[in-house]
Structure 1
Amino acid sequence: MGNTTDILQNQFDAIVVGTGITGGWAAKELCEGGLKTLVLERGRMVEHIKDYPTSNMDTWDLPNNNVLSREEKKKYPKQFRLGWAPKEDNKHFFVNDLEHPYQETKRFDWIRGYHLGGRSLTWGRQSYRWSDLDFEANLKEGIAVDWPVRYADISPWYDKVETYIGVSGEALGLDHLPDGQFQPPMDLTCPEEDLKKAMGEKFDDNRVLTIGRVAHITDKESNHEGRNPCQYRNRCSRGCPFGGYFSSNSTTLPAAERTGNMTLRTNSIVYEIIYDDQSKKATGVRIVDAETHEKLEFKAKVIFLCASAMASVGILLQSKSERFPNGIGNDHDQVGRNIMDHHYQLGATASVDGYLDKFYKGRRPNGFYIPRFVNVNEKSRQRDYLRGFGYQGGASRTDWQVSVAEMQYGKELKENILKPGPWQIGVSGFGEMLPYHENRVTLSATEKDQWGLPQLDFDVEFKDNEYKMREDIIRQIVLMFEAAGFKNIQPYENETGPGLGIHEMGGARMGWNPRTSVVNKHNQVHAVPNIYITDGAFMTSASCVNPSLTYMAFTARAAHHAVEEFNKGVFS
């Protein structure tokens, strides 16, 4: 993809590191802004549609009923902490942990995908806006540092992103979960409607249940540049040949390519940003070719670091010079600190009586969402912990497999396999993690990867606030299930650690003061303003909602700023 003359000359207007959720957006916006842009991806090429080998397979087409063999599982000891991935149908979109190791002073579940598009091919697609409840929380509570932006600064960029990617959802009118530019919402099932009704009738704190706000096209009349509406196949983690959900591969990278301004290079591991002492600017990046191990340099006037939060932190720490002996932008020991994730792996399941004459069409690639209802005002203020949590869940009918345990055969078996089983419902809580200065990632002093680069070492943990919140997450969902009359309620809490929420963020936080933060309100590194960081590394706090929509909005905003500054000659 792109202009081979530029890559031979190694000179560009801009370089984007990474091709996931934010890298794709940076590439699109910079290229559409007229900048000749080199996009670097550390992993292999994945071409939309062509490189989704399992996207149309049924379970019986896959080896071992879609379960990895013992030998295959040995390659994914950390990815398997997820409990649901990888499988035979999507293992090619998860890294081999043995080939890409990292260190854990404390447990950290780093779930990764090294290929074009990154985790935009496997993300959960839940898309929620932040509000000023989130942006103002640090300041009001005296936690960490204040965000230098508010909702009004980001709202128009949320509009832009939602309109472009296609977000299906329902308007609720909640101040703390702002409504967006929505395509038609997906439907709730009958038990989900029952839970919604019970919450409204039996609780006085404005609890709401809604269908998830999800980055899937549902408007059949809209034109999304070759993408088609969601087909309700629920095979999203394999890659969608219809383009029904948003990914870099189906959407932003093709848009960047159409401009003629993008040059794409895969198998390119960026390990250092080059700093020039005289101009006091970054002048390019150094890479190692993942296949040949050859080291190369590429020059540009603007650098967008979108490698994913922890990978971007690693690049900053490795970018050492006389001016920045501890890593570029790290004058005050802020790079690699304040690491956060959402804590989950807890919730409840229950069985639902009735509705045996009801079913649904297709396989909805979405669930319901219960927005935060604690610590949103004085009435809902909690004594034991700060911030809040939301729930994601779903209700469906169990299938014919329940009959196998009864060892049925003959006529009875034939009848049962044609009938779905009873309804069940399950919910998981997602809670906000506070930004702790001591939660950090560093470069290992001794361990290297196969390219000779230092491995990351994680020293991150949940603390008292998170554990107290977890107690309430379980207590509240049990109360709601009881209010709805569900039976056989089973609360659960699995062993977990930071990272498993796959919402890792922090390490190069945004702030007003260069002494206590790494980037300014435009996502520019304070000390080197032609470096922009727009993946999860810039996050100053975590909210309790899925963060990808916010990453995309900030990326579009930062790229717009970069184009304006570039055209003014600021980076020359």
Structure 2
Amino acid sequence: MNLNLKAQAANTFDAIVVGSGVSGGWAAKELTQKGLRVLMLERGRDLEHVTGYTTAQKDPWEFAHRGRNILPTEKQEPDFRVRPYNEQNGDFSFDDRKAPYKEIHPFAWYRPDILGGKSIMWGRQSYRFSEMDFESNARDGFGTDWPIRYKDLAPWYSYVERFAGISGNKEGLSQLPDGEFLPPMELNCVEEHVRERLKTRMNRVLTIGRTANLSQANPVHTSVGRAPCQYRNKCAQGCPYGGYFSTLSATLPAARQTNRLTVRPDSIVSEVLYDEKSNRAKGVRVIDSKTHQTTEYYARIIFLNASAMSTNFILLNSVSSRFPNGFGNDSGTLGKYIMDHHFQAGANAQADGLGFDDKYYYGRRANGIYIPRYRNIGTDKREYLRGFGYQGGASRSSWQRLIAEAAGAESSFGADLKEQATQPGPWNMGIMGFAECLPYEDNQITLNRNRLDKWGLPTLNFDVRFRENEHLMQKDMMNDAAEMLEAAGLKNISTYNNHSVPGGAVHETGGARMGRDPKTSMLNATNQLWAAKNVFVTDGASFASIACQNPSLTFMALTARAADFAISELKRKNL
């Protein structure tokens, strides 16, 4: 008995953070800096900042397939679609064959398998949600009302922006609130031209992307070892300079400086443990991904930040006599209202005859342009609900334009080819919409207990699809893009719609949504489970709607806010 008590004491912490991605890193930072001993559990392998980015300094010709996506050579399961492997950062990703999932409708589930999670590979676009976004469900009656408004999150947006380091330009738009920005990266000459044309001819805004790349490193950044962006545009391979915000470059060093953080990689959290006496969670059960050994860890508070789908999985798999349908699932909404952005619809054009043939740009800017939402705002009313923004940019064609197969015609050779290769190609510009998906109740994930993964755990069934509202929006995403490029004077405009599938944008959210009523939601206004107040969910699973902006900045702000609240409740002995 004494041995058991000692073992339990060794596995007991003030707080447990499940997941080490964008939100998990913030939870660890905030809780340790506020005095708690924190255990961070990550199912992926350990990854060292700087030395772990083994391809970050390689040149394209050092890769066997020159960086192309390739399929694994091992035998595939006949009923499972294995996604291509990118040799530049493929070892960061989870091997789906270890835990396959069923797609009732096509769903692209991109899972990392490293400490730091998707914060190592994310697109870094960082936008605030607006008052309009938090009001949208209540305004049009689709989905449950967010229990918070912009004013509740605004100071926390500022808080996380200053530490993360977001570069951008203030535009004074209510639908895209300004933030605490580092100096903006520069638009190139064609983008500047399009910006002016859109402003004068269509009263629309084109701005530089608001990105978590340091345009300059302030003391708050250098204190954890970060340096400015090097304009290499190799972010997805990991940045040894800390030029962009990630768990490994920013929040984890800050948490480790407190000497209150324990990090345990290779740790698959299978369920949350319920204590019937206290009506609270008492800890989590963990499977070691290498040894398959099971261990239980205990804490006063638990932050679930495993990423939206994995957080849903953990809650669905945490069953007891009190919660037969998943931990905290009194409302029956767990696993439902899954969302992702639909995108891959827009237009491309050439910037011929605009007088920029003698212009170029500096470096490889790891950023593009952004055109904020303008549909269904004010007097603009469309046949669909909500709206979209655009991302994209202008650039000059490279030497690859000279490849005969790419050009569709015979190419030069010899000295003539070499001379042409030294000259930059024509200017091109593309813009692609990122659009809101409505929260549909029957867009859901469920557990498949008949098909187990490598560790004996259930797998997931995805029943998620875009509907008529999204399809109607995609028509405007294409046509509006062409209209704007034409208004800017660009030529040879072509539209496209590649019919993206859920998961493709890697912005999946929902399933454990916030709300005002425990009968229709999982979480309250401070991201606590209604049914177990010492469990906090602050990743994408908590979203009641997805807006059209990239969601990661909102993950950060919700997490910092919830951690601050959790500390205050602990001090009041309410948790």
TM normalised by structure 1 equals 0.95
Q: Could you tell me which residue of structure 1 aligns to residue 87 of structure 2? A: 88
Does 1:550 pair with 2:550?
no
Q: Could you tell me which residue of structure 1 aligns to residue 226 of structure 2? A: 227
Matching of residues 392-541 of structure 1 within 5 Å: 392-405=391-404, 406-541=410-545
Does 1:322 pair with 2:339?
no
Deviation for aligned residue 1:18: 0.1
* Counterpart contact for 1:78–1:110, Cα < 8 Å: no
Q: Taking structure 1 as reference, are residues 230 and 419 closer, same or farther at Cα in structure 2, changes over 3 Å only?
A: same
Matching of residues 197-212 of structure 1 within 5 Å: 197-203=196-202, 206-212=203-209
Deviation for aligned residue 1:93: 1.5
Query: 1:513-535: per-residue Cα shift (whole Å, max 9, x none)?
Result: 00000000000000000000000
* Counterpart contact for 1:169–1:212, Cα < 8 Å: yes
Matching of residues 172-211 of structure 1 within 5 Å: 172-203=171-202, 206-211=203-208
Whole-angstrom distance in 2 between the partners of 1:69 and 1:143: 41
SS at match of 2:295: strand
403-412 or 252-261: which moved more? 403-412
SS at match of 1:237: helix
Query: 2:211 is matched by which residue type in structure 1?
Result: V
Whole-angstrom distance in 2 between the partners of 1:424 and 1:66: 23
Deviation for aligned residue 1:68: 4.1
Matching of residues 4-19 of structure 1 within 5 Å: 9-19=10-20
Deviation for aligned residue 1:332: 2.2
Deviation for aligned residue 1:303: 0.4
SS at match of 2:401: helix
Q: Could you tell me which residue of structure 2 aligns to residue 276 of structure 1? A: 275
Q: Could you tell me which residue of structure 1 aligns to residue 3 of structure 2? A: none
Q: Could you tell me which residue of structure 1 aligns to residue 284 of structure 2? A: 285
Q: Taking structure 1 as reference, are residues 448 and 70 closer, same or farther at Cα in structure 2, changes over 3 Å only?
A: closer
Q: Could you tell me which residue of structure 2 aligns to residue 297 of structure 1? A: 296
* Counterpart contact for 2:70–2:86, Cα < 8 Å: no
Q: Could you tell me which residue of structure 2 aligns to residue 26 of structure 1? A: 27
Query: 2:272 is matched by which residue type in structure 1?
Result: I
Q: Taking structure 1 as reference, are residues 435 and 69 closer, same or farther at Cα in structure 2, changes over 3 Å only?
A: closer
Deviation for aligned residue 1:407: 3.1
* Counterpart contact for 1:78–1:111, Cα < 8 Å: no
* Counterpart contact for 2:53–2:238, Cα < 8 Å: yes
Q: Could you tell me which residue of structure 1 aligns to residue 54 of structure 2? A: 53
Query: 2:36 is matched by which residue type in structure 1?
Result: L
Query: 1:336-376: per-residue Cα shift (whole Å, max 9, x none)?
Result: 01000000111111111141111111000000000000112
Report how many aligned residue pairs link the two structures: 559
SS at match of 2:483: helix
* Counterpart contact for 2:184–2:215, Cα < 8 Å: yes
228-237 or 489-498: which moved more? 489-498
Deviation for aligned residue 1:488: 1.3
Query: 1:178 is matched by which residue type in structure 2?
Result: P
Whole-angstrom distance in 1 between the partners of 2:96 and 2:252: 27
Whole-angstrom distance in 2 between the partners of 1:317 and 1:527: 14
Matching of residues 132-171 of structure 1 within 5 Å: 132-171=131-170
Query: 1:218 is matched by which residue type in structure 2?
Result: S
Whole-angstrom distance in 1 between the partners of 2:412 and 2:163: 51
Deviation for aligned residue 1:66: 1.4
Deviation for aligned residue 1:427: 1.3
SS at match of 2:556: helix
Q: Could you tell me which residue of structure 1 aligns to residue 211 of structure 2? A: 214
Q: Could you tell me which residue of structure 1 aligns to residue 333 of structure 2? A: 334
Query: 1:381 is matched by which residue type in structure 2?
Result: K
Deviation for aligned residue 1:220: 4.6
What RMSD over aligned residues (CA atoms) do the two structures have, in Å?
1.6
* Counterpart contact for 2:27–2:563, Cα < 8 Å: yes
Whole-angstrom distance in 2 between the partners of 1:364 and 1:233: 7
SS at match of 1:530: strand
Query: 2:64 is matched by which residue type in structure 1?
Result: P
Whole-angstrom distance in 2 between the partners of 1:65 and 1:567: 55
400-409 or 131-140: which moved more? 400-409
Whole-angstrom distance in 1 between the partners of 2:132 and 2:66: 46
* Counterpart contact for 1:121–1:247, Cα < 8 Å: yes
* Counterpart contact for 1:172–1:179, Cα < 8 Å: yes
Q: Could you tell me which residue of structure 2 aligns to residue 360 of structure 1? A: 361
Query: 1:535 is matched by which residue type in structure 2?
Result: D
Query: 1:476-502: per-residue Cα shift (whole Å, max 9, x none)?
Result: 011001111211111111132111111
| % identical equivalent positions | 50
SS at match of 1:468: helix
Deviation for aligned residue 1:409: 2.0
Query: 1:366 is matched by which residue type in structure 2?
Result: N
Deviation for aligned residue 1:94: 1.7
Deviation for aligned residue 1:99: 2.1
* Counterpart contact for 2:157–2:554, Cα < 8 Å: yes
Matching of residues 361-376 of structure 1 within 5 Å: 361-376=362-377
* Counterpart contact for 1:320–1:326, Cα < 8 Å: yes
* Counterpart contact for 2:309–2:508, Cα < 8 Å: yes
* Counterpart contact for 2:22–2:119, Cα < 8 Å: yes
* Counterpart contact for 1:79–1:111, Cα < 8 Å: no
Does 1:346 pair with 2:334?
no
Deviation for aligned residue 1:296: 0.7
Deviation for aligned residue 1:72: 4.9
Does 1:238 pair with 2:242?
no
Whole-angstrom distance in 2 between the partners of 1:41 and 1:342: 26
Query: 1:93-123: per-residue Cα shift (whole Å, max 9, x none)?
Result: 1222222311112221111102100000000
Q: Taking structure 1 as reference, are residues 137 and 488 closer, same or farther at Cα in structure 2, changes over 3 Å only?
A: same
* Counterpart contact for 2:193–2:488, Cα < 8 Å: yes
Query: 1:38 is matched by which residue type in structure 2?
Result: L
Q: Taking structure 1 as reference, are residues 75 and 6 closer, same or farther at Cα in structure 2, changes over 3 Å only?
A: farther
Deviation for aligned residue 1:86: 4.6
* Counterpart contact for 1:367–1:393, Cα < 8 Å: yes
Whole-angstrom distance in 2 between the partners of 1:452 and 1:125: 35
Query: 1:230-260: per-residue Cα shift (whole Å, max 9, x none)?
Result: 0000000000000000000111011111101
Deviation for aligned residue 1:201: 1.8
Whole-angstrom distance in 1 between the partners of 2:248 and 2:73: 27
Whole-angstrom distance in 2 between the partners of 1:221 and 1:272: 40
Deviation for aligned residue 1:55: 0.4
SS at match of 2:254: helix
Query: 1:525 is matched by which residue type in structure 2?
Result: L
Matching of residues 106-145 of structure 1 within 5 Å: 106-145=105-144
SS at match of 2:29: helix
SS at match of 2:339: coil
* Counterpart contact for 1:66–1:89, Cα < 8 Å: yes
Q: Could you tell me which residue of structure 1 aligns to residue 407 of structure 2? A: none
Whole-angstrom distance in 1 between the partners of 2:61 and 2:517: 57
Deviation for aligned residue 1:403: 2.0
Whole-angstrom distance in 1 between the partners of 2:124 and 2:76: 26
- 4+ runs deviating over 6 angstroms: 5-8, 73-77
